[in-house]
């Protein structure tokens, strides 16, 4: 074997010793198989403490996919920040006039569709007079009986229902009073006595807001001192309830707004994380596509030959060393046959790339290495490699001409 090839192989082995992860690249699978076939063991990538752990060469390319799968199987969710339920406090109300609701069967009601004759109307008025006498004597049960008779005789009279409602209030039967007041208001929506009796009955039931509304309407229709006196007890309670409701409606709305904001931030964070993940994956994919041989060409130069040398070492030196360079040197290299000589070196055909080229001389030449990092020099070098006739137009450039000449001398055949 040519001494220069042995030197290059030694440099490659040294590179593998320095960075065993080179062998994890799929393009070196043939070399791994060769070593393992001889009973050898392939060292793998290093841990942070310098030790090595076993790792399949296929893992590098699938790590991100495995991370994606892990995220799908075990999605990462931040713990939802749950606020405690809002518990409403008690309201201190004056319930002096509140009574136990009456749960007796509904009282008899008249049929509003009944046609009332003059005779029935007069009889109804007579029954009402008897009821008023009973009330004045304190006989409330008797008064209810007379008023019920009056309602059945004239079921179209709102005043009869409203009057019976006032008697039920005196008897502390608010539910019965509400039923009569509703009947009176159905017949006459402007019945002041109907609103008054219902408002007072609702006060007894502790329905403060509804009571305040009825009493205010009654006062507008026919003001009296009794309504004013009851309102003074009802309105403070109604205001407390209204303020309490507004307070907790506001607290619930604020809680819901915070929940919506947390959800919005969570979705934004998920979208951002998905974007960053996709971006990272794309960058990693681009890096793998353009990274060439891991660790670079033996002797340094990470990422391969600087500038790519149009056509590069075709295929990124598949198979690496040892072995030939399929495809030979790029087309148009000074002195080579068009398209390069297949199988590269050693033993290239005459006019092709010399078989005694020592690449270590190029890679270890500081001047050439520095020149390869100069875009102007590389552009000129690539131009000449594409067409050797272009050498003439770069002869006058003091920066380019010496480098091209030196490179050509490195590749010159035996003299």
- From the first residue on, what is the mean pLDDT of each consecutive set of 10 residues in the chain (415 residues)? 77 78 76 76 54 42 48 49 78 85 92 89 95 95 96 95 96 96 96 96 95 95 92 93 92 91 93 92 76 41 38 35 35 37 36 51 76 81 80 82 77 52
Q: Give the SS3 label for residue 220.
A: helix
Give the position of tokens 């004045």.
136
Burial per residue of 128-159, b for 16 or more beta-carbon CB atoms within 10 angstroms, e otherwise: bebbeebbeeeebeebbebbbbbbbbbbbbbb
Please name which of 400, 412, 355, 340 lies closest in space to residue 376, comparing C-alpha atoms.
Answer: 400
Residues, the chain = 415
Give the pLDDT of residue 340.
Answer: 38
The C-alpha atoms of residue 172 and residue 322 are separated, in whole angstroms, by 111
Give the pLDDT of residue 216.
Answer: 96
Burial per residue of 84-99, b for 16 or more beta-carbon CB atoms within 10 angstroms, e otherwise: eeeeeeeeeeeeeebe
Give the pLDDT of residue 268.
Answer: 93
The C-alpha atoms of residue 203 and residue 363 are separated, in whole angstroms, by 103
Full-model pTM: 0.47
């Amino acid at each position: 074997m040519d001494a220069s090839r042995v030197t290059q192989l030694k440099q490659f082995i040294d590179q593998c010793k320095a960075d065993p992860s080179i062998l994890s690249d799929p393009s070196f699978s043939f070399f791994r198989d060769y070593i393992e076939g001889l009973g050898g063991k392939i060292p793998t990538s290093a841990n942070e403490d310098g030790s090595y752990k076993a790792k399949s060469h296929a893992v590098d390319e699938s790590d991100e996919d495995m991370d994606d799968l892990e995220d799908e199987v075990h999605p990462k969710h931040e713990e939802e920040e749950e606020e405690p339920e809002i518990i409403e406090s008690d309201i201190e109300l004056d319930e002096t006039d509140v009574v136990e609701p009456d749960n007796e069967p509904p009282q008899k009601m008249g049929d509003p569709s009944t046609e009332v004759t003059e005779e029935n109307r007069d009889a109804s008025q007579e029954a009402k007079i008897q009821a008023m006498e009973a009330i004045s004597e304190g006989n409330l049960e008797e008064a209810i009986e007379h008023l019920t008779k009056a309602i059945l005789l004239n079921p179209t009279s709102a005043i009869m229902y409203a009057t019976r409602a006032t008697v039920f209030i005196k008897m502390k039967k608010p539910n019965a009073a509400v039923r009569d007041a509703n009947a009176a208001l159905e017949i006459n929506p402007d019945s002041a006595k109907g609103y008054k009796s219902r408002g007072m009955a609702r006060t007894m039931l502790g329905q403060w807001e509804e009571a305040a509304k009825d009493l205010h309407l009654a006062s507008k229709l026919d003001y009296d001192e009794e309504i004013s006196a009851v309102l003074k007890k009802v309105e403070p309670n109604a205001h407390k309830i209204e303020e309490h409701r507004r307070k907790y409606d506001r607290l619930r709305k604020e809680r819901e707004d915070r929940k919506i904001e947390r959800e919005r931030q969570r979705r934004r964070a998920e979208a951002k994380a998905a974007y960053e993940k996709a971006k990272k994956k794309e960058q990693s994919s681009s890096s793998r596509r353009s990274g060439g041989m891991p660790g670079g060409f033996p002797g340094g130069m990470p990422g391969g030959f600087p500038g790519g040398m149009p056509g590069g070492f075709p295929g990124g030196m598949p198979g690496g060393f040892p072995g030939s360079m399929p495809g030979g040197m790029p087309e148009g290299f000074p002195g080579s046959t068009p398209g390069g000589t297949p199988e590269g070196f050693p033993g290239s055909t005459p006019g092709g790339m010399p078989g005694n080229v020592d690449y270590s001389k190029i890679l270890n030449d500081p001047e050439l290495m520095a020149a390869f990092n100069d875009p102007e020099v590389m552009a000129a070098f690539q131009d000449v490699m594409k067409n050797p006739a272009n050498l003439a137009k770069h002869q006058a450039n003091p920066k380019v001409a010496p480098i091209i000449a030196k490179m050509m001398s490195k590749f010159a055949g035996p003299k």
